[in-house]
Amino acid sequence: MLLAGCASPADTGTAPRAATSTPAWARGMATVPASRLPAEARETLALIDRGGPFPYTRDGIAFGNFERRLPRERRGYYHEYTVPTPGSRDRGARRVVTGEGGETYYTDDHYESFRAVLR
């Protein structure tokens, strides 16, 4: 039996739509559109885009990636920023981590897991 016109994306040289909408650095990990982040995280992203000023002295410090949840990069490649947690008396558990290649990650459980932020 011959099925004409049923080529797979690999056969045609085109990638499936989902793969083209996800940047290479985010493939294989959970993702979240920036618009679906908590309001405080969106505000932190806006501060990052503007270059500050940041409300916490530790905002912008190098993120060590000691948990190895993000791709391995040299020390200083990643930087972290606090996402305020309503009701928390300290910095809370939420962070945005950025990479020098334009990557943006969000964690709401103090680095136990990350989602790639699609902007």
Domain ranges of the chain: 23-118
Residue 101's pLDDT is 96
Q: Which of 3-12, 33-42, 78-87, 108-117 has the lowest mean pLDDT?
A: 3-12
- CATH architecture of the domain formed by 23-118: Roll (3.10)
pLDDT digits (tens, 9 = 90+) for 29-82: 999 999 999 999 999 999 999 999 999 999 999 999 999 999 999 999 999 999
Asked about 80 being catalytic, the answer comes back as yes
**106 Cβ neighbours under 8 A, 6+ residues apart:** 32, 37, 41, 83, 94, 95, 96, 97, 114, 115, 117
Determine what percent of the chain is predicted with pLDDT higher than 70: 83
Tell me the C-alpha to C-alpha distance, in Å, between residue 27 and each of 8, 30, 47, 94, 115: 20, 8, 26, 22, 11
- Please report, for the chain, how many H helices and E strands are present, in that order: 3, 5
Q: Give the model's pLDDT for residue 30.
A: 97
Of 67, 100, 110, 112, catalytic: 110
Find where tokens 């947690």 sit: 85
Q: Is 110 an active-site residue?
A: yes
Is residue 15 very low, low, confident or very high in pLDDT (cuts 50, 70, 90)?
very low
Q: Residues 6 or more apart from 50 whose CB is under 8 A from it? A: none
Measured distance CA(27)–CA(13) in Å, rounded: 19
The one catalytic residue in 43, 80, 100, 112 is 80
- Residue range 50-64, pLDDT digits in tens: 999 999 999 999 999
